[in-house]
Structure 1
Amino acid sequence: MTSTPSKSPVAALSDLLCFALIVGGGSGLLHEWLGWIHFMGFVRFLAPDGYEIYSYIIMIVLGLAAGTAGHAVTRQGRE
C-alpha cells in the first residue's frame, strides 16, 4: 500500500489564505457592484474607505499568488 504524502503546514496555510482572500475579495466586489450582503464581512475592515474595489481586486490577486506559492511548495516537497 502506498500512502499519500501529507501537506506541509505552509502549504495548508497558503491554501486557507488563498480561499479566504479569493472568496472575501469576490464577495466584496459583489457587494460593491450589486449591493449583496457581505459573505465574508471581515474583509470590509481591510479595505480603506474610497478604495474598496481596488482593495478587493488586490485581495483576489494576492489569494491567487498565495495559492500558487502553496502549490509550488507542495510540488517541491515531492521531488
Structure 2
Amino acid sequence: MKQLLELLGFLALAQGAMGLLHEFTDWHIGLVQRVGFLDGHEIYASVALLVLAFALFALAESRR
C-alpha cells in the first residue's frame, strides 16, 4: 500500500510540475492542458496536483 501511495504521489507531482512548466514556458508536456473542462484553470489544477502529491507522500510515510 505504501508503494502504491508513493507511485500515485510521484505521478501527481510529475503532472503538476509539467502543467506549470506548460503554462510558464509553453512546452507541450503533461496531461493537465489536454483535459477540456480545465480550460482556463490549468494553473489551479497543477497546483492542486502538487498539493495532492505532498499529501500522498505524507500519507505513505504514516503507513507502516
Report if TM-score (shorter chain) is over 0.5. Answer: yes
Q: What number of residue pairs does the alignment pair up?
A: 63
Q: Hey, what does 1:42 align to over in structure 2?
A: 31
Alignment-derived partner of residue 5 in structure 1: none
Tell me the C-alpha RMSD between the 2 structures: 1.7
**1:50–1:63 distance in 2 versus 1, CA, 3 Å:** same
User: 1:47, 1:55 within 8 Å by CA — same for their partners in 2?
Assistant: no
- Larger helix proportion of the pair: 2
After the TM superposition, which residues 1-79 of structure 1 pair with which residues of structure 2 at under 5 Å, given as runs?
Answer: 10-38=1-29, 41-44=30-33, 45=35, 48-73=38-63, 77=64
Alignment partners' CA distance in 1, 2:22 and 2:61: 30
Q: Deviations over 1:36-78 (max 9, x none)?
A: 120xx333328611110000000000011001100110xxx2x
Matches of 1:16 and 1:46, distance apart in 2:
25
Show structure 2 runs of 5+ residues with no match: none
Structure 1 gaps of 5+ residues are 1-9
Aligned-residue sequence identity (percent) comes to: 33
> Which is greater in Rg?
1
Q: What TM-score comes out, normalization by structure 1 length?
A: 0.71
* TM-score using structure 2 length: 0.86
Ranges of 4+ aligned residues in structure 1 off by more than 6 Å: none
